[in-house]
Homo-oligomer: A and B are copies of this chain.
Amino acid sequence: MDTLQFTKAIAHETRQEIMSHLCCVWLSVNDLVEKLGGKVNQPTVSHHLKILEEAGLVHIRQEGKYRFYTLNQERITLCCGMLIQTFAPDYQQAVIRVDDIE
Contact = CB atoms under 8 A, between A and B. Distances in A.
A96 B97 contact: no
A76 B71 contact: no
Most B CB contacts (10 A, CB to CB) among A7, A16, A87 go to A87
A4 B7 CA distance: 10
Interface in A66-89: 71, 73-74, 76-77, 80-81, 83-84, 86-89
Interface residues of A, number: 36
- Can you tell how many copies of this chain the complex includes? 2
Interface string A42-80: 000000000000000000000000000001011011001
Contact of A91 (B13, B16, B92, B96): B96
Contacts of A74: 88, 91
